[in-house]
Every structure is written in C-alpha cells, then in structure tokens.
Amino acid sequence: MAPEIASVQDDIDFGRRDVFSDTSTSLIISNSGNKDLSISNAFLSGTGQAHFNLRTEIDSDTLLVPHETMDFKIEFLPNARALLTSTLNIVSNDPNTDTLKILIKGRGVAADLSVSPFPIDFGNVLKLQNAQKEVVIENSGERPLDVYTFYLENGEESEFTLITDSTAFNNIDSSESRSIQIGIDAETEGTFSDQLIIVSNDYLEDTIRVDISARVVTPGISYGCLLYTSDAADEEDSVDLGGRRII
C-alpha cells in the first residue's frame, strides 16, 4: 500500500501564441494509490522557464487522499519568436516517482517587419536628373503585418519624394512584401539626407526609422586636344609623344 502520483497529461502544449500575450491552462494531478499523497514542492526548470509561470502554491500541508485530484495552473507569457520549453517538477512521497516531470512548451509568434535596403543610399546623382529607389517591406514573422503609415521626416522640406501613396499596407501575410518607391529631384548640388518613418504592428519596434542619403554632383567636363603625326610640325611649338606631336 502506497501513494501514487498520476497526471492525465504527459505534456502541456500551448501551441502558437502571440508574443507578449498571456495564456493559462491547468494540469490535473491525482493520487491513484491507496495512501495519502504528500506533495512537498513544485517548480519550473529548463532554458525557457522565464516564459512560464506556475500559479499554484505548495505548502507542507498539501495532501491528496486516495483518488483525490488537484489542479496546477500554468501561464505562458512568450516574449520571443521561438519554440519555448520548460519542465514542471512535482515532488511527492510517491515511492516510485519522487519527482513527476511534465514537459511544457509553446511557440511565440508575431509580425516582424524587415526593410531592404537599410539604409537607403542613392549614391552620386547627376544634377538636373531624377533618380528612384525601391524599398521593400517584408513580413518575416508569423502573424499578419499591418503598416499603418509611412512618411519622410522632413516632409515638404525634403529633397526626396514619396512616389508610393502613403496609404496603409494592411494584412501583409508571412513572407509577403510590399514596395515603396522613393525619388529625388536633383536640382541643387550637395549632400542630402532624410529618414523614412514606418509605423506598424512590428512586435519589437512599432516605429522604424530608415536613413536616406544622396549626393548630387555636376556632370564632369572633359577637355580634348588635337593630335596629329605630321613631321612638319614646328619643333619649338610641339611636344613629342612617342612619334605623335601635340600643338
């Protein structure tokens, strides 16, 4: 005759849950033996234990008579996009299983915005010419990405222009992308900069700033000279270039 700890589940799987959300579930433990079961401790362990909470408190008087059950409440609070695991350890006076171990797992998911190129560099742009750059916004996360707005920080004072309408890009699915066209009217020589501001439901940064730069230069002027090979050239007014004379 002895106590015997038992669980209706071998593991707890929270599935896919939004990052920074809070989900809870219960694990039922029972005494399937014929003597009182004394539970002396319960705790979480493992690399991902920071993403889980055990809400059930254990004290020295925690006893389960034969066939009695007890609920253990566990919370999942993911703060990373990853598969997260921990182990629930329940210590008792069961002579065969002094520590019952239950695997707990869940995956944190979210929208994750990536921008390419980052930063946006037009390089050298010839004066009085127009140049454009395509900026690709991609959802590298698992949840739909909503881009609420995007704009240039300098607004109407900017040397750059948003060719793409700044209407929100909603419901960009995982691995899908959208394009933003940015242009510059190179009317004035010099070095120019601005920032593209993107506001979205990205799980880490709801506002992303992308540096934009360009250098407007004047087209170079090349100068030529008359070359000929006449032997009658005046030696005093010419320079010998290996058989050729330049006046």
pLDDT at 220: 72
Q: What per-residue string of b and e applies to 209-221 under the rule 16 or more CB within 10 Å gives b?
A: ebebebebeeeee
Amino acid letter, 190: G
Higher pLDDT, 35 or 245: 35
- Is the pLDDT confidence value at 63 over 90? yes
pLDDT at 233: 44
- Is the pLDDT confidence value at 235 over 60? no
Is residue 95 reached through a cis peptide bond, with omega within 30 degrees of 0 on the bond before it?
no
Higher pLDDT, 238 or 101: 101
Give the mean pLDDT of the chain. 90
Which pLDDT tens digit goes with each residue over 29-59?
Answer: 999 999 999 999 999 999 999 999 999 988 8
- Is the pLDDT confidence value at 242 over 60? no
Residues 144/172, Cβ–Cβ less than 8 Å: yes
- Is the pLDDT confidence value at 230 over 90? no
**Closest by CA position to 107, among listed 124, 137, 136, 85:** 85
pLDDT-derived band at 4 (thresholds 50, 70, 90) equals: very high
The SS3 of residue 244 is strand
Largest CA distance in the chain: 127
**Closest by CA position to 27, among listed 3, 49, 40, 44:** 44
Higher pLDDT, 117 or 166: 117
| pTM, entire model | 0.77
Q: Could you give the CA distance from residue 11 to residue 8 in angstroms, rounded to a whole number?
A: 9
pLDDT-derived band at 139 (thresholds 50, 70, 90) equals: very high
Give me the percent of the chain exceeding a pLDDT of 90: 81
Owner of token pair 């593209």 = 196
Q: Could you give the CA distance from residue 166 to residue 173 in angstroms, rounded to a whole number?
A: 19
- Is the pLDDT confidence value at 226 over 60? no
pLDDT at 167: 77
- Is the pLDDT confidence value at 111 over 80? yes
Kindly state the DSSP code that residue 188 receives in the 8-state scheme: S
Note the Cα 79 to chain centre separation in Å: 12
Give me the percent of the chain exceeding a pLDDT of 70: 89
pLDDT-derived band at 79 (thresholds 50, 70, 90) equals: very high
pLDDT at 241: 41
